[in-house]
Amino acid sequence: MMKRIAVFTSGGDSPGMNACIRAVVRTAVYHGIEVYGIMRGYKGMIKGEIVKLDSASVSNTVQKGGTLLKSARSQTFMTKEGRQQAFDQLSNHKIDGLVAIGGNGTFTGAMLFEQEFGIPTVGAPGTIDNDLYGTDYTIGYDTAVNTALEAIDKIRDTADSHDRCFFIEVMGRDSGYIAIPCAIGGGAEIVMIPETQMSTEAVIDTLRTGWKRSKTSFIVIVAEGDEENNATTVAAKVKEAIPELDTRVTIIGHVQRGGSPTAADRLLGSQIGIAAVEGLMNGMHNVMAGIVDRKLVYTPFHETIYKKKLINQSFMRMVEILSV
């Protein structure tokens, strides 16, 4: 029987985290469970930055970006001594279960923590990268794509006006999930992602072919984790090979993490927040709540962390066809 639970956010922030926190708090209140917020993730857990929350604590937050609980990374938690300190703090507050909002690193810590100390944890997938196995979409992904796409639309206007080739770098250290919809929706000629091998030479060949067809402006989307390195490196090699091409580089960067969440992310965050609390109530632990084929599923942390979420290769073909 859950009497007291705590919720925290860890790792990179993502739009919709506040919607998830709000849902966790109000679901707990609805079921008569005391709920606490842990400030600054595992770092705050170790320091005992744990505050009581109620329904009013999360009023007027569903539309806000970032995370009201703050976020931080903690090297100390990666040690046995650090996890012992965190457990002692939770024990002092008589916490029975945890809701962890974050990504792979967050769930890795939660899995290890439960194995050692037995406090059940249910995860909520909060990351803009959409790279977690066990859910079709992660909280913040839809907003990040739309933020990047808005910037790409504006850059395309300049590319067209000045007959330029823009190399646009979007986030995605290990995943092309942001890059691909941006390429398709933004009308890009080329997309470079970590999951597929596209050499700089292939990019040069494609751009040279387009140039010979009198095409004068280009958009190349590069995920930051592409095997050919970042957009700046690729652009320099292309400029060397095709000096007549007027090239520019834009790195969209952390603006993709911020801003008011879209309706989709508010809905997803709310669904997952409710599912996380009710999962704890039903005895679930060491699992992530997610939505697959519009159905709620709970995936073991071990699978979420270690199984690869594959890119739909038909999307790469779409980019090739639509760029003709």
Domain spans in the chain, listed from the N-terminal domain onward: 4-140+261-306, 142-257
> Any residues with CB less than 8 A from the CB of 322 and at least 6 apart, and which?
184, 187
Which two tokens mark 265? 């992310």
Neighbouring-strand partners of residue 298: 289
Please give the Cα distance from 54 to 37 (Å, whole number).
Answer: 10
Check 13, 129, 226, 265 and give the catalytic one.
129
Please give the Cα distance from 297 to 143 (Å, whole number).
Answer: 23
Assigned CATH topology for domain 4-140+261-306: Rossmann fold (3.40.50)
Tell me the pLDDT of the chain (324 aa) as tens digits: 899 999 999 999 999 999 999 999 999 999 999 999 999 999 999 999 999 999 999 999 999 999 999 999 899 999 999 999 999 999 999 999 999 999 999 999 999 999 999 999 999 999 999 999 999 999 999 999 999 999 999 999 999 999 999 999 999 988 999 999 999 999 999 999 999 888 999 999 999 999 888 888 999 999 998 888 899 999 999 999 999 999 999 999 999 999 999 999 999 999 999 999 999 999 999 999 999 999 999 999 999 999 999 888 899 899 989 987
Assigned CATH topology for domain 142-257: Rossmann fold (3.40.50)
Q: Look at residue 1 and give its three-state secondary structure.
A: coil
Pairing of strands 287-292, 50-53: unpaired
**142 included as an active-site residue:** no
pTM, entire model: 0.96
**What local confidence, expressed as pLDDT, does residue 244 receive?**
93
Farthest-apart Cα atoms in the chain, separation: 71
Pairing of strands 247-251, 218-223: unpaired
CA angle 266–133–129, rounded 5-degree value: 55
DSSP 24-53: HHHHHHHTT-EEEEETTHHHHHHHT-EEEE
Please give the Cα distance from 130 to 123 (Å, whole number).
Answer: 15
> Any residues with CB less than 8 A from the CB of 117 and at least 6 apart, and which?
83, 87
